[in-house]
Structure 1
Amino acid sequence: MSEFAKSLSVTASGLQAQAKRLRHVSENISNADTPGYRRKTVPFQAVRDINTDVESVKVGRVSLDRSELEQVYDPSHPLADESGHYKGSNVDLMIEIADAREAQRSYEANLKMFDQTRQMSSSLMDLLRK
């Protein structure tokens, strides 16, 4: 496997990982007001391909945040107990927005690396044709 192909493989894995992360962040944001919803977290793992000796990024198993659910006081809510409280979600919108911004910037960085590698490969081919 050429160095260009290795580089493209690594950046493609980074793009896929950040896209999955962004998908789960958007699910968290859309369910922030859903009673009983637990925030999903996405871990990344480094995976080495022994055949090509390329280390890439892989999304690990998605897990649920086990922190306490917010107690919301609303006696008119159908899920409210006798004290007027029900369990909301444990999604913090500020954390989710920060995670979304980080995933977006990481995605853009991987996309730039992919484009740089493609341009270098194209330039090399042009030089070899001369």
Structure 2
Amino acid sequence: MDLRDSLNVAAAGMKVQGARIKVIAENMANSDSTAETPNDLPYRRKVISFENALDRQMGVETVRVRKIDKDKSDFQRRYDPTHPSANAEGYVLYPNVNTLVESNDMREAQRSYEANLSVIEASKTLLMRTIEILRG
């Protein structure tokens, strides 16, 4: 693998981590949303999964988004009989989003993004040094 390949692999890593950050941000933005009526369902948390992908042109494996699914776990139930979305028993369904989990996932995605960015910066530096040597 040459330096250009490392740039492409790291760029693929940044792309999927960017998609992951977008999904996490959507989950966090909707963490307190409720349904409009008692018969509707609130926002359902989204989860992202990745897969290895062979880039035949470069001859290396990269990563890509396999799919974005909805988390099938149970919604949170809170007793609030005055809420417009409360059911006959007085419970309101809230999204199955745990902001603590989302915050930790966001931090991990950010670190992965930054690690890939560091690879790109190092590869760029090595390429520039190589060009300088060849000129000189």
Residue 126 (structure 1) aligns with: 132
Q: CA deviation at 1:9?
A: 0.4
In the TM superposition, 1:31-46 aligns within 5 A as 31-35=30-34, 36-46=42-52
Residue 15 (structure 2) aligns with: 16
Q: CA deviation at 1:34?
A: 1.1
Amino acid at match of 1:129: R
Alpha-carbon separation, structure 2, partners of 1:127 and 1:53 = 28
Alpha-carbon separation, structure 1, partners of 2:58 and 2:17 = 23
Alpha-carbon separation, structure 2, partners of 1:124 and 1:30 = 46
Give 5+ residue unaligned stretches, structure 2. Answer: 35-41
**3-state secondary structure, aligned to 2:51:** strand
Residue 28 (structure 1) aligns with: 27
**So what's the TM-score if we normalise by structure 2?**
0.91
Percent identity reads 36
Q: Deviations over 1:38-73 (max 9, x none)?
A: 111111111001232121110121001000001111
**3-state secondary structure, aligned to 1:62:** strand
**So what's the TM-score if we normalise by structure 1?**
0.95
Residue 116 (structure 1) aligns with: 122
Residue 5 (structure 1) aligns with: 4
Q: CA deviation at 1:25?
A: 0.4
2:103 to 82, 97, 100: 97
Give 5+ residue unaligned stretches, structure 1. Answer: none
Following TM superposition, the consecutive aligned residue runs of length 4 or more in structure 1 with deviations greater than 6 angstroms are none
